[in-house]
Amino acid sequence: MIGRLSIGIIALVLGAMLLCGAVSAEKVDTLGEHSKDRLLIATTTSLDATKLLDLLEEKFKEETGVTVEHVAVGTGMALEIASNCDADVVMVHDRVAEDKFIDEGFGVDRRVIAYNYFLLVGPENDPAKVAGLNGTEAFMAIEEAGAEDPSIVFVSRGDNSGTHSREKLLWKWGGYDYADVNVSPWYREAGAGMGQTLTMADELQGYTLSDSASWGTYESNLSLVPLVENDDKFLNVYAVMRVNDEKCPDVNTEMAKKWENYMISDEVQEILQNYGVEKNGVPYFSPGRGSAEIMGVTVEETTDPVV
Amino acid sequence: MNDLLTGIETAFHLILAVDPQVFDIAIRTLQITFSSVLISTIIAIPLGSAITFREFPGKKTLISLIQTLYALPTVIVGLLCYMLLSRSGPLGDLKWLFTPNGMIFGQTILIIPIMAGLTIAALQAIDPIITDTIKSLGATRLQFLKSHLKEARFAIMAAIIVGFSRAISEVGTAIMIGGNIKGHTRVLTTAISLQTSMGNFNLSLALGIILLAIALIINLGMGFVQNR
């Protein structure tokens, strides 16, 4: 009798789980598909970590009724996702990778939305004496000091993100072969996002390159200090592109264009002007409009609506 | 130590205040996990039974293979499912990448081996005397199967619990296939991973405690059923 009872109870539990599953399956089904009312962005992490995209997505939804969602990954991964046709829009910050993406025919209608600067951050005692140097010199100083002083550490994102790619360029500009730098004892490849990399650099009391928006977001948890800022070589430009519908017929082109136009609209450019001031003291990003020359792009790329 | 204590404090705060965002994430986690456990149960228990009670060449190898798959790294399942579900992949037409459905798909694949394997172990552990008795009583195939499943019910329940635990605690598949999209595919583990990467250790710890609390409730429920 007891056996029968427990079988009954097991059946009941399974039944309940079935019901639960059925209900949830129904619920998630409505969210399952990419529809014309959903736009998916593959984005660099800094736009997410600052919560800027959450804000803009909400406003965009109010105006258009379109649900915008984003997957926050490094620039390299974002472009990879998009070239598999798994996103409608990319928002990234790596000119070289962007150009390649466009040349391959995946990215179209690039618009430049904002910029800020990378910073070289490091321990307050600055063992490699980089404070006061320019961007390239600072990297050279770390390399030279690192070769002699075993306490010096540089933590790299090592994840093909836009920041990692700039860091590689900086080594190159300093006259080094990245393959050599990469195997140096003072060089630590984190293979992680900005937040984790900063935390690691903090624990190891090492140097790292960060975009200023992420730095502004994470800084309060860290003992590191910015050592080199606002250098020309540290310019960091954010762009938006839609995924080519000739390559990826399923993408939501209509909404992708609307999103791009929204990014260069007066409304968003004005939001950027002040975004982050409350929390960070200074804005996380500078609006792209009116700064084409600083960013080294054409004026059209900052203002011309996508049609 | 400080982080630990504040983490626990934060957890209680979030639970007691029924933080809507955390609540939303917890509910989504349960929906996705229950769905994948349910689907896996439907597949893995019959599969395990069939493998146990049928004789065929390569049976032992197949069982070893299933047991090997216990060690399947979640991120590999995530990667394989990513490549399957990507719009440029063979199942791209489903459009399940970066959706809860995709996550259920991935978790199901992840836990089927462990649930099928434990079902096999459960059925094989039945005393052969019982098997012989059931046979000698002239049971039909269905009766035979039923009585065996009944005999092994506790161990099979354990298989379901293990499957549930693996599904609710894994992060590799969830983050690769779901993409950790806020309000859509963010579950407890991916939220923990995100908060950790952002250095919010308190909140991460709190979410971890909530996850364990949910697992505890489910296990207590199952234990209650078993004791009856």
Chain B partners within 8 Å of A195 (Cβ): 197-199
DSSP string covering A200-213: HHHHHT-BEEEEHH
Domain boundaries, chain A: 34-116+235-303, 117-234
Put simply, whether B98 touches A (Cβ < 8 Å) is yes
3-class DSSP state of A119: strand
**CATH fourth-level superfamily of A34-116+235-303:** Periplasmic binding protein-like II (3.40.190.10)
Of the residues B32, B37, B182, the best mutation for testing chain A's interface (the one with the most A CB atoms within 10 Å of its CB) is B182
Distance CA A5, CA A157 (A): 58
Distance CA A148, CA A142 (A): 10
pLDDT at A21: 47
Nearest to B37 among A17, A34, A218 (CB): A17
Average pLDDT, chain A: 89
Predicted confidence (pLDDT) at residue B165 exceeds the cutoff of 50:
yes
Which ranges of chain B does DSSP label H, i.e. alpha helix? 2-16, 20-53, 59-68, 74-85, 100-124, 128-136, 141-151, 153-169, 172-173, 188-197, 201-227
Q: Phi and psi (nearest 5°) for A306?
A: -80, 130
pLDDT at B2: 67
Question: For B120-144, b where at least 16 C-beta lie within 10 A, e where not — what string?
Answer: bbbbeebeeeebeebeeeeeeeeeb
Range of weakest confidence among A298-307, B89-98, B216-225: B216-225
Query: Mind listing the pLDDT tens digit for each residue in B30-53?
Result: 999 999 999 999 999 999 999 999
3-class DSSP state of B13: helix
Strand partners, B102: none
| A304 secondary structure, DSSP code | P
Chain B partners within 8 Å of A32 (Cβ): 95-96, 99-101
Distance CA A202, CA A190 (A): 12
Residue A231's CB: how many other CB atoms inside 10 A?
Answer: 18
**Residue type, position A69, single letter:** E
Chain B partners within 8 Å of A52 (Cβ): none
Strand partners, A155: A188
Contact A41, A71 (CB under 8 A): yes
Q: How far is B28 from chain A (nearest CA, A)?
A: 8
Instruction: Count how many pairs of residues, chain A against chain B, have C-beta atoms within 8 Å.
Output: 107
Chain B partners within 8 Å of A17 (Cβ): 34, 37-38, 41
Nearest to A69 among B153, B181, B222 (CB): B181
Range of weakest confidence among A11-15, A54-58, A127-131, B26-30: A11-15
Query: Class for domain B2-11+22-227, per CATH?
Result: mainly alpha
Q: Which two tokens stand for residue A238?
A: 């954010």
3-class DSSP state of A4: helix
Residue A163's CB: how many other CB atoms inside 10 A?
Answer: 28
Say if the Cβ atoms of B197 and A40 lie within 8 Å. Answer: no
B59 against B224, higher pLDDT: B59
Q: Tell me what the mean pLDDT of segment A248-263 comes to.
A: 95
Q: Tell me what the mean pLDDT of segment B79-96 comes to.
A: 93
Chain B partners within 8 Å of A84 (Cβ): 86-89
pTM over 0.80: yes
Length of chain B: 228
Q: How far is B17 from chain A (nearest CA, A)?
A: 23
Q: How far is A269 from chain B (nearest CA, A)?
A: 24
Range of weakest confidence among A79-88, B89-98, B128-137: B128-137
Say if the Cβ atoms of B35 and A9 lie within 8 Å. Answer: no
Of the residues B97, B157, B180, the best mutation for testing chain A's interface (the one with the most A CB atoms within 10 Å of its CB) is B97
Predicted confidence (pLDDT) at residue A25 exceeds the cutoff of 50:
no
Distances (CA, A) of A101 to A108, A211, A247, A265, A303: 9, 22, 12, 24, 21
Question: So what's the ipTM on this one?
Answer: 0.76
pLDDT at B228: 66
pLDDT at A28: 40
Could you give the maximum distance between any two Cα atoms of chain A, in Å? 84
Say if the Cβ atoms of B88 and A13 lie within 8 Å. Answer: no
- Residue A236's closest CA among A115, A84, A83, A87? A115
pLDDT at A33: 47
Nearest to B87 among A85, A199, A218 (CB): A85
Say if the Cβ atoms of B150 and A3 lie within 8 Å. Answer: yes
Predicted confidence (pLDDT) at residue A213 exceeds the cutoff of 60:
yes
Residue B161's CB: how many other CB atoms inside 10 A?
Answer: 19
| CATH number, span A117-234 | 3.40.190.10
Chain B partners within 8 Å of A69 (Cβ): 98, 181-184
Q: Is A207 left (phi over 0), alpha (psi -120 to 50) or beta?
A: beta
Contact B38, B160 (CB under 8 A): no
